[in-house]
Structure 1
C-alpha cells in the first residue's frame, strides 16, 4: 500500500530546524516561497515534510544530523503511522545483516531501482521463517526512509539501526508495548539459576513483546529460546533482535498464547514472563476446561493467575519460572483459592517485592513471583520466601552530611537491588527450612502460616509478621541517626532566617506599571513553551538510556525531575537553568508553585500540564519574574473554569522594573525559596524520626527515658 505524504506541524518544523515556533511563524509570513499548508487546521496547519526539508536545506537552516538521528527523524515523519514504516524495515535490516560491508556499500551507492533488486536478492538468501514478516515491496517504503536506513547501517552498523527501529516501534501505541528494562530482564533471568547452578538449556516467554527477556536469557546461556506474542509487530521485532544479537536457537510465533498456544507440547527448563496486566477479555470462556488450570479456573478478573498457570504448564520437571506481576495479584479476594493451591502444592517458591520505578507503571511496587514445577514424589511442602528490599537500600548514595536529597523520588540502584535479592534467593534454595530471617526484609514462612483466611502473599506484610523479633541495636542506631539529621535540618532552617530585616515601603505601597505575559511575548522579552498531550514525552520507568522528564507532580511536590523517556518527541522542550516553570492547572486554592530551573533541572524535558517561560536575561531576573508570577492575586486572577481551575499564563502580569532594581527583589525571593526548602526538609525528616521512634517503642526495641519507672534491667528480668 503506498504511503501517504508525511506532514509536519509548526512545532515539529521548529524542532527540526532548532528554532522557536515564533521563528517558524515569521518564515511563513515573510517568505512567499515557504511551503503552503497541505493539511491540519487553520489554527494548526500541517506541511509536506519533504517540501519543508528542501526549503530549510536551500536556506541553510537544516542542521546536520548523525545518520542515527536522521533515521529516527525520518521514520517519525514517514506517514500517519508512527511505527509502521519501522516494522516494514525489519526484514531489510535482517537481510543487510547477512551481507558484508562492501555489499552494503554497493547497495547504498546504487540507484533506487537497483537498490531494490539487490535487497530483494539479499532477503531471499538471508531471511528465514523466524523473521515473522515478509519482505516489503518498493512502494511500501518511502525512498527517504530507505536512504536513511542504508546510510545508518553503512555508518553505524546494523545493531545501531536496530536500536532506532526498536525505539520508534515501541513508542507507537498501535504497534508497540513498553519493553522490559534491561536491568530488570537480567535480574529476572538470573533468578532462574542463581549462583553456581547450571543455566536452563531452554527458556520460554509466552508474552515476549520486543524479546528483551529472551535476549537476556540467551546472553545468560540458554541454547534455545521460544517466544510468542499476540502482536505481529512485536513478533517481527523480537525475531530480528534475536537473529542479530545471539547465536541461540530461537523460534518466535504470533498469536494469543492463552487462547492459541503455539507451543502446547513445549516443556522448558525456564520460563520468564511479564504478562499484560488487568485484561478481562483474556479468553475465560474460550478455555474454561483447559487442562492447564491445575490450580483452579482463574476468574475473569484474574488474568494474571491464568498466566501463572500457563507458565507452570510449560515447565519441565525441576524447571523454574519468574513472572513480573502487579501487587494486587498477591491479595485480591478473587484469587485466594488459586493462591492457596499454589502454596499447598509447592509451586510457589518466593514472592519478591520490587521498589516503584523498576518498570511501567512506575508508581507501583511490582512483584516477582518465583515458581517451580512441583515434584509429585515430594509430599512435604517447603516454606515460601518473602523478600522486600528496604527503600533506603535501592536509593542513591547519601551526600556528605549523611542525608539523601530532600527533593525528588530516589533513583533506583539496580546493583543494590541485585545484591539483596540474588544472595537471599540462593541461600533459601540451599536450605529453605534453615533460612535465616532478616527482620523487616526477608523471611521463609511455612505454608501453614501463609494459608490463613486471606492467603495474602504481599511481601511487605509477610516480612513484618513472619521475620521474628527486630534487632534493638539496629533500630536504636536508625533512631539516633534520624534525630541527628533532624537537628542538622533544624539548624539549617534557623540559619536561613538570618538576614537583613524587611523594610516598610512607607505610608503607601509601591506601585508599578505592569504588562501581561502576552505583551512580553510579543516584545521578545520572554519565550513561552508548552507541550501538547500528543507531543509530550512518554514516561517510561527504568529505561536503559533515558531523558529525564520534569512532571507536573514534580513541580507541585518541589521534587527533582522524576519522569523518564527513552526518546523525546519532536515537540520536546529541553529545560535550561533559569527557566521559570509553573503548572497549568490549579489544585483548589493552594498557592501555585513557580519553579526557577536549577543546574540539576537543566537538560531535563518539560512534561505535560506545565508552562515554561524563558526570560531574556538582559531584561528579566528569573527570580524576580518567578516571585511576581507566583503571587496569589496574580495567579488566581488569571484562571478560568469552576470545577477545574486552569491557569492562563499569558494573562499573568509582571511589573515593568529596570533590571538593576529587579535583582534586589530576585535575591529576596531566592532567600524565601531557600527557607521554604529548609522547612520542607525539617518536615520530611521529622516525619521519618517520628515513624522510626514510634516503631521502636511499640515493637519493644526502644525504652522510654531512664527516669521512667521501668528500666531495661526490669524488662530483661521478666
Structure 2
C-alpha cells in the first residue's frame, strides 16, 4: 500500500460502501485511477485512506440512497460511517512476509524435513511439522516447556497433552522407540524453535507448508484449490451483507472453509474424508483465526457427517473420479444411484440435498461430468428436469497444481416450495480465456476474468427475464430447458455458447484427449514415486528387517460359531455383522451386510472390531484380508471369520494387510489350509505365519508404495473409460452421422 491505513479486501470495500462485490469489481476494472493494492499474505489488500478519498468523488444515485442519507451523500461518506477507516480483525493482524524471509523459512523447513525422512514418510513428516506449528502458535507456554526438556519422552508427553477443537488429544507424536532416536527428535524441536514466527503470521507459514508438500496429501481428501478459484467461488455465492451458513462436504485442507470464514459467514462446517484431512483442516482454520465444525464422513446420503443439517451455501472441490463406499449404493439418492467407480454425481447430489430451500452451491467438477454417458447421464437429466442446476462455467485448463484435467464450476440451487422451476440454465465459456502462467507453469485465473464471470452471473440471477447478453454471445448464454433436452442433456458450455455442433464435438474430443494426457502424466508421476520409494527402501528393509511369527505380534481370534440372526436382514439401528462375503482385498465392503439386534450384540462384545484390525475368512474362500477403518469401528466379527489385531507398537496395520494379501502369504495360507471341498485354516496355524518386519518407517514406505500402485490401477481404469469416450466421439467429429431431419435415406441428396 502506498500510504497508511488498514488493509481491506475488495469484498470488505463492497461491504463498507454498501454495494455488491461485482460493483466494486467494476470500479476497479473500469477506472484507471482506482487505488493499487498490495499483496499481503497472498491476498490483495487496499489502503483504507486511499479508498475513502477515491469514493469521496462518487455521489450515490438518488435511488440508491439509504433512509438516513441525504442527496449529495458520497460513497466515501457511507464508507467512513460504516467503519471503513478500520480493517476487520482478521485482516488487521496479517503480517507481510518478505520474499527473503519466506525463502529462509522454507529452507529451515527442508532442513527439518531431511531429519524426519529417516523415520517418517513425507506426508507424516509434514503433518508433524504442522502439529508443531499449531502447538507453538496456540500454546506458547507449553511450547516453551517442550523446548526445555532434556528427554524426548517428556517432550512428546507435553505435545500429546495439547487438544485441538473437537478432536481431543489429536497430535500424532512419535516416541523414542524409532530409528531417529530421542536426541534427534529434540534437535527437530530446537530447529523448529529457531524459525522466526515474527516474520510471518502462523496462517501464512501454514500455507507455506501446504504449498510445499501438497502433493503428498493426494486427491483423496487432502487437495488444494487455487486461490483465484477460491475467490471466484466465494464472490459468486457469498454476500458479505448476508449472514450465511456455509458447508464443504469434502473440505480437503480447509482452504474453502478459511475463505468463507474470512468473508463473514455466520457459521462454517466441513466434512473431512479421513482423519488426516480433519486435522489439517482444523489446523488451517484455527491458525487463520477462525472457527469451524469439521467432522469425519464420506459421499453418503444418510451416513454423512452433516446429514442432520442443511445450509445456505455449499462450496466444495471434491476428489474427482474416485469410487464411493459400497454402503452408499443402497442409499436413497434423489436423482439416481451413482456408479461405484465414479463419485462425481454423488457429490453433486449431496450438494443439492445439503442445501436449505433457496440455498445455492458451487461445485468443481471435471469437464467429463458434463457429457459422460451411462448412469451419470441419467442423473444429469434428472437434475436438469428438477431445476437444481443453475449454471455451468467452463474454466481455463491448467490452473491446478495436482491435475491438468480441465474443470467446470457447477452452480446448483435448491428450489423453494411452491415456486416454479427455473426455466433456463446459464452457460459461461471461459475455457479459452487463459491468463498468464505462474512460476510453476500453471495458468492463473486473471482478476479481470474473475470479475467478468461474477458480474455475468449476478446480472443473470438478479435481472431475470430482463438480462441481456450485451455483446457477450461468445462468452455466456442463458439456455432454455427444451434446447438442452434436444442436446440429450449435454451440459458442455461450448455446445451452447458461440459454437457450432462440429466445434462442440471437437472441443469434447480435445477435452478427452487432455484428460488422457493428464492421466498419462499422473501415471508417470505415480510410477516415479513408486520407483523412488522402492529405491530408498532397496536393501534397507532387507538389512534391518526381522522375521517374526504372526502370533508374536498380533492377537489372532476366531469368530463365533453361530450368531442368532435372520439371514439377509438389515436394520439400520442394529449392529453390523461382518461375514466372509464382506471381506474384500484390503477393505470391508458395506454392501450386503447382516445385522443383529442389540440383545444379541451384547453377548458378542469380545468379537467387536476396532480400527487397525485385520479380518479374514477362516473357511471357504481363503486369502482375502480386509483392514478395519474408523467407519467400521464397533462392527462385529461373524461366523467363518478370523480377526488379526496388532499387539505391538512397531506393526503398521496397513503394511500388515498388504503383506497378508501378497502372493507369498497367499501361497503359505493355501499350503497350510485343511480340507478339500471347503478349505479352512485354524488360528493356531495362522499364528505360525512368518512375517518380515522392517522398521516402522520402512513399513509405512512399503505400504505407501502399494497404495500408489493401487492408485495407478485406478488411473488405468479411468484411462480405459476416457479412451472409450474418445472412440464414441469419432463419428460425430468426422461428420459421419445421420442428421435428425433425415428420416428417409432415399431422400438424401448424397450420391453413390
TM-score (norm 2): 0.47
TM-score (normalised: structure 1): 0.49
* Structure exhibiting the larger radius of gyration computed from Cα positions: 1
